[in-house]
Chains A and B, each alone.
Chain A
Amino acid sequence: MRPRRSLTSNCILNLLVAISALILTFPLVWIVMMSLKQQAQVMTWPPTFLFRPTLENFRVLFDIAEAGATSYGTIKVDFLTPITNSVVIALGSVVISLLAGVPAGYVLARRDIPLKEDIAFFILGFRFAPVLLVVMPLFSIFQTIGLYDTFFGMIWVYQVVTLPMIVWLSRSYIEDLPKDIEEAAAIDGAMPVQIVLHIVLPLLKPGLIGASLLIFLLAWHNFALGLILSSTKAPVTVALLKLLNPGVQFYPVMAAGLVVTMIVPVILIVIGQRHLERGLTFGAVK
């Protein structure tokens, strides 16, 4: 049994939880409020918490036809293009990482190959370096070989962010699968490829969905790679920055953009969570 707490300590603990929740949600609430305000209301001091919400900022964000004609100055956003770009790049990165990373993780988990730990550490090493370190030399290389501002090039370079994660996560998931199951399949007449297709992948599914969500978010939030290696194919993170131009700052439109940017991963996580069955391997081995 848990020790009973006194009323006072209970109150204090609840208060602390409430305060930390407030601190955590404040920026989010602030951004959502800002996205529903008008330009003039945003900059007032003291800030207003009671106002007539407007969806005007979201209209501006996605409106291509009337671009430039807003109530508060010239602006051309067309936010749909960066969202599409981000979806293509992030999804593409996840798919490529899964295709390349899961087999790599399998080999690192199961096979005896020379320098195994060194290879694994080398792959992880990409996560140590700041992304900008890779970007600078890549900028000129990409321009020379024609990969600058292409989906292909972007997805390729995003592997720096996503691939090491998939390799390491799938390696540890595979290590958690009992080896007996694979050996049983081998005795039952399955070839190595069949073992992976019929036994290993189905068992890895929940883990891989979780890992894919995680690396999708990593790709979605990446900023430096898109900033330097793309222009028309720029992802949302870069498009948001463009709203902060030196003349007028379109804070409410930018806030609307942020809200949209946040919503996509939230939707994905809500959908993905249902697939995250737990304890699928229970019952296989004692």
Chain B
Amino acid sequence: MANVRLEGVKKAYGTIEILRNIDLTIDHGEFVVFVGPSGSGKSTLLRMIGGLERISGGRLLIDNEVVNNVDAADRNLGMVFQSYALYPHMTVRENFAFPLRMAKMARAEIKTRVAETSSLLQIDHLLDRKPRQLSGGQRQRVAIGRAIVRQPKVFLFDEPLSNLDTELRVQMRVQIAKLHKQLGNTMIYVTHDQIEAMTMADKIVVLKDGNIEQVGSPHDLYHNPASRFVAGFIGSPKMNFLDGHVEAAHEGGMDVKLEAGATVSVPVQPDQRLVGKPITLGIRPDDFSQSPAQETDIAIELDVDFVEHLGSVTYIYGNAGKQTVVAKAPKPAPPKGSGKLRLAVSPADCHLFTSNGRALRRLRAPADWS
């Protein structure tokens, strides 16, 4: 149990910079998810915390102690690898006992700990099997068990669920979240799956090209993305982006004329310097409704291309002017095929992004879920 602090942490291979000046504080007991596209440096960052990669610059503190030059073996962490990385020549019991043996724990204590861990993960009956005799989900649980058996300060998860099928992934996601509640340890979790990030995290760290793009709660990231990148990355299906330009800035927000035709007055922090400049309007697919509820709502005319029925929801893919738009179909009557469709959006649900991708602060974002 511990906090983790990164101060200006850098990673470079020769002249190639993988991570630039990462500043981040992870509090005791927090479940933090690093999320980002491949190559964003999220796994490297996790491996640096784990002691598997050297830190090229800055300081890494675990429990307020600088650990830049402490070996992985001495950091007292637990890690679950994407590949599970079980010891194939050892039984599940021996896999569990290995970290305890390395810590020179008494035999009786090892026995108790192994029994506790296996019953926590409900794998008592598998203790005498070798990893090759286990299914994917069982191997995953053994890998988690091996990480928690030593009761480490911090747990690291490196895309632990990406090898599992969808159903098992949902199960394990719930189990890991439960485990976090039960154990209360600090957990750092790397994934490229934004749904995992949204469902499990107390705090999400979005990484892009070796930089932290935004740190915040799932709610924060969803409703107040700091940039167009975060807005597009969090949420599924992706946020729609419509091009336009700023007509006016006033106290209530900014007036934007869309290329598709409509003019919208979006309630964001006004910025006079942007008047006349190009701007991008962001609308989440979930924020469309069938008919305008209020006068101020924007009407968008959609040429329907394709309708995707998923059971509980239906998504409409179409074009507004030259731009592709995905919208959640309004209930109760989702359209069947192609044709024209009029949808409405409340300006309060819209996001604005400047041409360099920065988001303008929204004035009427929904309150936090919690």
B66-77 contact mask (Cβ, 8 Å, vs A): 1 or 0: 000001111111
Is there an interface contact between A184 and B81, defined as CB atoms closer than 8 Å?
A: yes
Is there an interface contact between A286 and B87, defined as CB atoms closer than 8 Å?
A: no
Is there an interface contact between A191 and B85, defined as CB atoms closer than 8 Å?
A: no
Is there an interface contact between B131 and A187, defined as CB atoms closer than 8 Å?
A: no
Is there an interface contact between B102 and A187, defined as CB atoms closer than 8 Å?
A: no
A257-286 contact mask (Cβ, 8 Å, vs B): 1 or 0: 000000000000000000000011111111
Q: Which residue of B lies closest to A282 (CB)?
A: B132
Q: A184-B81, A285-B84 are in contact. Are A198 and B131 (CB under 8 A)?
A: no
CA distance A184 to B99 in the complex (A): 10
Count class of interface residues, chain B: 35 or more
A194 in the interface (beta carbon within 8 A): yes
B39-62 contact mask (Cβ, 8 Å, vs A): 1 or 0: 000000000001110000000000
B223 in the interface (beta carbon within 8 A): no
Count class of interface residues, chain A: 20 to 34
Contact of A189 among B52, B73, B81 (CB under 8 A): B73
Contact of A181 among B87, B103, B134 (CB under 8 A): B87
B89 in the interface (beta carbon within 8 A): yes
A131 in the interface (beta carbon within 8 A): no
A182-199 contact mask (Cβ, 8 Å, vs B): 1 or 0: 011111111100100011
CA distance A284 to B88 in the complex (A): 5
Contact of A186 among B52, B136, B139 (CB under 8 A): B52
Is there an interface contact between B89 and A189, defined as CB atoms closer than 8 Å?
A: no
Residue in A187, A199, A279, A285 whose Cβ sees the most chain B Cβ within 10 Å: A187
B98 in the interface (beta carbon within 8 A): yes
Q: A194-B102, A286-B136 are in contact. Are A184 and B79 (CB under 8 A)?
A: yes
B83 in the interface (beta carbon within 8 A): yes
A118 in the interface (beta carbon within 8 A): no
B127-138 contact mask (Cβ, 8 Å, vs A): 1 or 0: 000111110100
CA distance A194 to B134 in the complex (A): 26
A202 in the interface (beta carbon within 8 A): yes
Is there an interface contact between A280 and B52, defined as CB atoms closer than 8 Å?
A: no
For A183, list chain B residues within 8 Å (CB).
50, 52, 72, 79, 81, 85
Is there an interface contact between A188 and B131, defined as CB atoms closer than 8 Å?
A: no
For A191, list chain B residues within 8 Å (CB).
71, 73
Q: Which residue of B lies closest to A198 (CB)?
A: B98
B210 in the interface (beta carbon within 8 A): no
B150 in the interface (beta carbon within 8 A): yes
B86 in the interface (beta carbon within 8 A): yes
CA distance A186 to B71 in the complex (A): 8
A103 in the interface (beta carbon within 8 A): no
Contact of A187 among B50, B88, B133, B134 (CB under 8 A): B50
A218 in the interface (beta carbon within 8 A): no
Is there an interface contact between A186 and B51, defined as CB atoms closer than 8 Å?
A: yes
B146 in the interface (beta carbon within 8 A): yes
Is there an interface contact between A283 and B52, defined as CB atoms closer than 8 Å?
A: no
Is there an interface contact between B87 and A187, defined as CB atoms closer than 8 Å?
A: no
Name 23 interchain pairs, CB-CB below 8 A, sorted by A: A180-B82, A180-B83, A180-B85, A181-B87, A181-B88, A183-B50, A184-B81, A184-B86, A187-B50, A187-B52, A187-B73, A188-B102, A189-B150, A191-B73, A203-B88, A279-B132, A280-B88, A283-B86, A283-B88, A283-B132, A284-B83, A284-B131, A285-B86
